[in-house]
């Protein structure tokens, strides 16, 4: 019998104290990443609303309670429709979308109205920000085992920002799309899945006496969930937890969280 020796990078190798908060396993004790209550449902991160068919079969999942899971669905539908309308207008130059037929779902009609206003005067949208925060919490829980809600952890959102490619300078977008240098930062917890996305690059530098030396630098790469449709990055920077997402190679968003480390568990 040949043994399967392949290392499973998606498996969680971290602390058993954290596991019930970040790993969905049927018939086990789990806690909702959003509210800390007992969890009984599986949350795909990202949710399929932001992906294209056929869906990837191995989507990351985290535990969530039914209330939270259902509580996001209207805003998620709204956000999906909002991004579709923005994409139609700015990417495909389709202006008919605002005059064509009635929308069946009220979320879609709301999104169409909101995008109509956005085109006149670009502004932030609270329902989108709520969903971006939700996505960020999931990605952070899955990737670095942090950012989820529990009695021991408090998470404060310190920044939510988003923008779309057609309204940004080319160089601005390129910068947003770079891998993040994390050499001087806190690394994710040992056993976190994020380790599969860290690259070590040897950089050639010169010291004061002119001798050359090689310095290893660490970079955090993107997790490509579906090419051209959804990718994200999670890393620590300046003492905060950053989550960046790019949806449809068109919309960029970032969510920054401050974690209360005073009550951090000891491993
Ligand atoms: Zn919940």
203-216: b (≥16 Cβ within 10 Å) or e: eeeeeeeeeeeeee
CA of 143 to the centre of ligand 1 (A): 19
**What order of strands is seen across the sheet that includes strand 223-226?**
155-164, 251-259, 240-247, 230-237, 223-226
Taking the centre of ligand 1 as the mean of its atom positions, its distance from the CA of residue 133, in whole angstroms, is 14
Range of the domain at 126: 19-259
Q: Give me 230's structure tokens.
A: 């959804």
CA 74 to chain centre: 19
Q: Does residue 1 sit within a domain?
A: no
pLDDT tens across 144-187, in order?
A: 999 999 888 788 999 999 999 999 999 999 999 998 888 878 88
Distance (angstroms) between ligand 1 centre and the Cα of 57 equals: 25
115 closest CA partner among 91, 137, 139: 91
Distance (Å) from CA 243 to ligand 1 centroid? 20
**Distance, CA 138 to ligand 1 centroid (Å)?**
12
Residue 266 lies in a domain: no
Closest CA relative to residue 223, chosen from 97, 138, 157: 138
CA of 237 to the centre of ligand 1 (A): 27
Q: How far is the CA of 142 from the centre of ligand 1 (A)?
A: 16
Q: Is residue 66 part of a domain?
A: yes
Helices (H), the chain: 19-22, 66-71, 73-90, 106-120, 126-144, 170-176
What is the Cα–Cα distance from 253 to 109, expressed in whole angstroms? 23
- Let me know if residue 224 belongs to a domain: yes
Residue 97 has pLDDT above 90, yes or no: no
CA atoms within 13 A on the CB side of 224: 6
pLDDT digits (tens, 9 = 90+) for 210-260: 788 888 888 899 999 999 999 999 999 988 999 999 999 999 999 999 998
Greatest pairwise CA separation for the chain in angstroms: 72
pTM of the model: 0.89
95 in a domain, yes or no?
A: yes
Domain count within the chain: 1
**Tens digits of residue pLDDT in 21-60:** 999 988 889 999 999 999 999 999 999 999 999 999 889 9
Tell me whether residue 5 is in a domain.
no
If you measure from the C-alpha of residue 221 to the centroid of ligand 1, how many angstroms do you get, rounded to a whole number?
Answer: 30
What is the residue whose two structure tokens read 């994390």?
A: 182
Q: What pLDDT is recorded for position 211?
A: 80
What is the Å distance from ligand 1's center to 158 Cα? 21
Q: Answer yes or no: is 6 within a domain.
A: no
Residue 71 has phi, psi (to 5 degrees) of: -65, -20
Residue 6: predicted pLDDT:
54
Identify residues whose C-beta is under 5 A from ligand 1, the ion: 32, 34-35, 37, 65, 68
The answer to whether the Cα torsion of 78, 113, 53, 140 is positive or negative is negative
Report if residue 10 sits inside a domain. Answer: no
């Amino acid at each position: 019998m040949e043994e399967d020796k392949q290392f499973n990078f998606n498996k969680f190798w971290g602390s058993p104290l954290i596991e019930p908060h970040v790993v969905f396993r049927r018939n086990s004790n789990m806690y909702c990443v959003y509210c800390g209550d007992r969890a009984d449902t599986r949350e795909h991160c990202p949710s399929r609303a932001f992906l294209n068919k056929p869906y990837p079969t191995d989507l990351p999942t985290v535990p969530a309670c039914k209330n939270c899971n259902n509580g996001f669905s209207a805003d998620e539908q709204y956000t999906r429709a909002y991004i579709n309308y923005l994409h139609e207008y700015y990417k495909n130059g389709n202006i008919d979308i605002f005059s064509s037929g009635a929308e069946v779902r009220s979320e879609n009609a709301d999104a169409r109205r909101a995008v109509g206003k956005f085109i006149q005067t670009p502004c932030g949208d609270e329902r989108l920000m709520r969903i971006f925060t939700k996505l960020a919490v999931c990605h952070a829980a899955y990737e670095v085992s942090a950012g989820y809600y529990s009695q021991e952890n408090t998470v404060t959102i310190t920044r939510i920002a988003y923008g779309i490619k057609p309204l940004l300078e080319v160089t601005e977008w390129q910068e947003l799309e770079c891998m993040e240098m994390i050499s001087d930062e806190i690394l994710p917890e040992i056993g976190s899945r994020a380790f599969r996305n860290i690259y070590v690059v040897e950089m050639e530098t010169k010291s004061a006496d002119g001798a050359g030396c090689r310095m290893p630098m660490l970079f955090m790469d993107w997790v490509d969930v579906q090419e051209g449709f959804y990718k994200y990055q999670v890393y620590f920077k300046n003492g905060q937890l950053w989550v960046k997402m790019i949806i449809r190679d068109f919309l960029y968003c970032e969510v920054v969280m401050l974690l209360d480390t005073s009550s951090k568990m000891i491993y």
